[in-house]
Amino acid sequence: MREVLPGTIAAHGMALGRARLVQPSRYVVDTRPLAEDEIDSALHHLHHALDTARLELRELRGKLHGALAREVNEFIDAHSLLLDDPELLRGLDDLVRIGHYRPGAALKKQRDRLSAVFEAMDDPYLRSRKEDLEQVINRVISVLQRQTSPEERKLAARVGEILIADSIAPAEMAQLAGNGLLGVVGSSGSVYSHSAILARSLGLPMLVGTRDALSNIHDDDLILLDAERGEAVVHPTAQDLSHYRAWQREAAIEGRRLAKLANAPTRTRDGIEIGLLANAETGADVAMARARGADGVGLYRTEFLFLRKKVLPSEEEQFIAYRDLVMGMGGLPVTIRTMDLGADKADAAGLATRGEENPALGVRGVRLSLRHPSVFTTQIRAILRAACYGPVRVLVPMVTQPDELIAVRTLFKLARQELKHEGIDLPEKLPLGAMIEVPAAAINVRALLEHSDFLAIGTNDLAQYVLAADRGNDALENIYHPLQPALLRLLSHVISAGRRARKPVSLCGEIAGDANFTALLLMLGLNEFSMHPTQILQVRDRIATLNHAHLRRQATKLLRAYTHEQAEALLNELSEPA
């Protein structure tokens, strides 16, 4: 019988396929106590499952590139670290050896016990790590189930399947995306989570907050995932299928129309030119940026060079990557961000500071770079050499205060002198910019502008820090919202300061590539957007419909909003002239 389950749209689109349920929290485990002579065998099975889970994560990490790697690797690293956590492993062994628990029951017991500990924590960041713990242990339980019943418990999606889950980790989505996954329906989750962002990058329709999905959908049910209306239709009718086919035809027509914009100028309805840049990490990203008519690369992430091997990349390795990037853009400007290695990423690169109680607010970004001047200088030399092949800007992440920029400039000056002494011809000027993602940097932006040639706003982290809200925590959806007045006023302050200083300001966070927020950003005075290459055509299309002068006149009204609900209503009202 047909049933419609409402949800919140996290990634637009539609898909028709068979349901594949993932309910690791409901796995049936054998709770019979172990006999004494079964303990050694049970421990062997448990350790084999843990080793298999570690191997799967390593293999997945090695396969990922570009957008997938960017969004997923930090989660893979975090999960890998949890799988090696001594307290977790010791507890599992004790449950089997002393408590006579079978491996699956021991994992479930440890998951429930540690989840309760995380849930009781006052710190919202630490409390949110409960989801990582559950996903890691569920992965190991999955391995155990596959060992005993591979056909029934295999979680990898087959062609034509729609995943139905409570929540899905980015690593799991990346793994399934390569096996024909068509879409995702989550019973919980946030539209601002990393998984939702990844789904949008992959073009996978996704619903979150579909509360009854796990109880009302069964394996192999035919599902029409309608992430345009915000519903999952179980056992769709002929009328539903007709609607789906009509959407497919319209989507194909829209795709062909947008493709024609690849070589079109990016201009508002009243003739104002807007810069559309690409966020990139691989050669494929660069090729897509060129194909879609990007005005340059606004953010090139370099940390993948530090994470793909266990040894630090040499100057030559980095030089080749940066040179290929610059040449691949054919004379268009390229912004290279210096290594943005934070907590887990720095640990993977062998640069982490041990014993940090809160690594999310610790030695990361430029703070880490300045603690390792020899490693940083190697990167600086590679960037300077690559700048001989085309226009390059350098972006410094996690800047908090001016002395960090002064220190970076000093290192660049010394490296330049070394290279000139070695007979390498260098460009006369290399613009240096600050990434604005720390609230202190945004508030004190005028001081930073004295030492930087341009700014790039990283709204993903800035919003989390300003609002003290994890974007992946669906319990905080009413707080983590791009239209929060405090965030809007801070963005306006930074953009206005850059304009007064006559220095470029770009925005490279998630909202830059979301056409729903294009009018907002133009209203705040932004004229340079940087986004994933897949989003360029939609944003260019949206810009062409907007009147820049009208939007700028409305900014004051928008900035008077007291709540994000008021801001949203005002934005809808003010976006176009009456």
Q: Which residues are catalytic?
A: 194, 508
The mean-pLDDT minimum among 120-134, 332-346, 389-403, 470-484 falls in 120-134
Residue 259: partners with Cβ closer than 8 Å, 6 or more residues away: 537
Give the pLDDT band (50/70/90) at residue 153. Answer: very low
Q: How many CB atoms lie within 10 A of CB 310?
A: 8
Give the pLDDT band (50/70/90) at residue 81. Answer: confident
The mean-pLDDT minimum among 177-181, 395-399, 463-467 falls in 177-181
Tens of pLDDT along 253-262?
999 999 999 9
Give the pLDDT band (50/70/90) at residue 126. Answer: low
Distance from C-alpha of 346 to C-alpha of 344, rounded to nearest angstrom: 5
Look up residue 572 and give its two tokens.
């809808």
Share the mean pLDDT of the chain.
Answer: 86
Give the pLDDT band (50/70/90) at residue 67. Answer: very low
Domains in the chain, start-ordered, CATH in brackets? Answer: 3-247 (3.50.30.10), 264-574 (3.20.20.60)
Rounded to two decimals, the pTM is 0.74
Contact between residue 376 and residue 303 where contact means Cβ atoms under 8 Å apart: no
Look up residue 439 and give its two tokens.
């609230």
Selection from 340, 472, 473, 449 nearest residue 401 by Cα: 449
Q: What is the pLDDT of residue 181?
A: 86
Higher per-residue confidence, 383 vs 117: 383
Span 309-322, average pLDDT: 90
pLDDT at 203 over 90: no
The mean-pLDDT minimum among 50-54, 122-126, 358-362 falls in 122-126
Look up residue 22 and give its two tokens.
């993932």
pLDDT at 102 over 90: no
Long-range contacts (CB closer than 8 Å, 24 or more residues apart) made by 362-366: 364/340, 364/398, 365/340, 365/341, 365/396, 365/397, 365/398, 365/399, 365/435, 366/338, 366/396, 366/397, 366/398, 366/399, 366/404, 366/408
Span 199-215, average pLDDT: 89
Distance from C-alpha of 39 to C-alpha of 463, rounded to nearest angstrom: 50
* Residue bearing tokens 């429930």: 112
Selection from 526, 527, 532 nearest residue 513 by Cα: 532
Span 133-146, average pLDDT: 72
Look up residue 540 and give its two tokens.
């260019």
Span 339-350, average pLDDT: 64
Tens of pLDDT along 497-553?
999 999 999 999 889 999 999 999 999 999 999 999 989 999 999 999 999 999 999
Selection from 339, 53, 284 nearest residue 171 by Cα: 53
Beta sheet of 206-208, edge-to-edge order: 3-6, 231-234, 222-226, 14-22, 161-165, 181-186, 206-208, 8-11
Q: What is the pLDDT of residue 149?
A: 35
pLDDT at 158 over 90: no
Q: What is the pLDDT of residue 531?
A: 95
Q: What is the pLDDT of residue 383?
A: 97
pLDDT at 415 over 90: yes
Selection from 497, 500, 535 nearest residue 517 by Cα: 535
Q: What is the pLDDT of residue 128?
A: 55
The mean-pLDDT minimum among 331-335, 427-431, 542-546 falls in 427-431
Host H or E run for residue 95: helix 86-97
